[in-house]
Amino acid sequence: MNPSRRAALALAAGAAAASAFGQPAFPAKPVTMIVPFAPGGISDGAARVIAQALSDQWKQPVLVDNRAGGGTITGTRDAARAAPDGTTLLLTSFGYVMNQLLVKNLPYEPQSLTALNMVGIAPNVLYLHPSLKLGTVAEVVAYARAHPGGLNFASSGNASSPHIAAELFSSVTRTKNVHVPYRGTGPAMADVLGGQVSGIFDTLQSLPYARAGKLRAIATTGKQRLAGAPDVPTFAESGYPELEIASWWGFFVPSGTPPAVQKQVTDAIDRVLAAPEVRRKLEAVGLEPSTDTSPAAFRAFLDTEQRRWAALVKERDIRMD
């Protein structure tokens, strides 16, 4: 039996087991997966992979709803205000933590959402438009120091991982650069490819552009070279070990969702994320799937992120544009 067939049978068995033990079938109606980014980026790609697998498991449509705006705040607010019945999921990323640190008056309380499953992470890669004719970290830093404000970095929105990676780059290299926020990676990358913006800190999803000569991959913010890009050095190798940052993705539900429903959702997502075919598809969009997707692991991770970036925001005096 091939792996895909085994994975499908495991998903069906999980759903059948729930009914066998007297639990009502969940969900009884279509599920909305809010993604607070525009279509076309890694968040959207991961959401569609997982939504299809959940739909196959639940025998209900799982609809990806892209609600970009406000650096993920718009979609996150809508998820926090949704009915707490498990049929609205939020798949969000790095900005979830950063908005709590950088935005004074959020239109929702962070406590109004409960973390469920961590999906995975993706270190950033600095991509530059080839017209700059810069190929190494040393050359980029020298150029930035010689041309204050001459480099402008796109991001998928304020408080996103590309935004903070750009801020971190400016801080550790002691250079002055410009941040240009967009409503998602798709529109940001369009302007980088068109040369309207100097570059972006994006994931491996954009490596094909570098392979095709449309961008230059300068260095990665990971701890070590990425398996998918072994020829791209790390910033640490280039003398900047402080420039280590990775985005992450995870699921949340409104906090009033009953514990029994939370467990049904969590278990279903766990089964999906364990399926080899789903993991391969997530890797294909540039995401490294988590080895521990449990709520406990995700919440511990979020606590660590909160402490790390709170310290950085204070030390570097990072502000929203």
Where residue 153 falls (left for φ over 0; alpha for ψ -120 to 50; beta otherwise) is beta
Burial class (CB in 10 A: 0-12, 13-18, 19+), 190: middle
**Looking at the predicted structure, is the pLDDT value of residue 3 above 50?**
no
How much is the pLDDT for 2? 52
Percentage of the chain with pLDDT > 90?
A: 75
CA distance 123 to 287: 9
Give me the mean pLDDT over the 46-74 stretch: 95
- At position 321, the amino acid (one-letter code) is D
Single-letter amino acid, residue 130: P
Nearest one of 22, 235, 38 to 155, comparing CA atoms: 38
Q: How far is residue 135's CA from residue 264's CA, in Å, rounded to a whole number?
A: 49
Q: Cα(123)–Cα(112) distance, rounded to whole angstroms?
A: 28
What's the average model confidence in pLDDT over 222-251? 93
d(CA 209, CA 176): 26
What's the rounded mean pLDDT across residues 174-186? 91
Say if CB 75 and CB 92 are below 8 A apart. Answer: yes
Residue with tokens 């718009």: 74
Question: Taking 90 as the threshold, does the pLDDT of residue 44 lie above it?
Answer: yes
Query: Average pLDDT, stretch 295-309?
Result: 95
Is 13 a residue whose pLDDT tops 90? no
Q: Residue 173's pLDDT band (boundaries 50, 70, 90)?
A: very high
For residue 11, the model assigns a pLDDT of 47
Confidence of residue 142 (pLDDT cuts 50, 70, 90): very high
**CA–CA gap between residue 156 and residue 37 (Å, rounded):** 8
CA distance 259 to 99: 27
The pLDDT of residue 15: 47
**pTM of the full structure:** 0.82
pLDDT digits (tens, 9 = 90+) for 193-217: 999 999 999 989 899 999 999 999 9
SS (H, E, C) 30-68: CEEEEECCCCCCHHHHHHHHHHHHHHHHHCCCEEEEECC
DSSP state of 221: -
285: confidence class by pLDDT, cuts 50, 70, 90? confident
What does the pLDDT average to over 272-300? 93
3-state secondary structure of 106: coil
Q: Which two tokens stand for residue 117?
A: 């499953």
What domains lie within the chain, and their CATH numbers?
3-122+247-315 (3.40.190.150), 125-244 (3.40.190.10)
- Which pLDDT value is given to residue 12? 47
Query: Looking at residues 135-158, what average pLDDT do you find?
Result: 96
Q: What is the DSSP letter of 229?
A: B
pLDDT tens, residue by residue, 220-233: 999 889 888 999 99
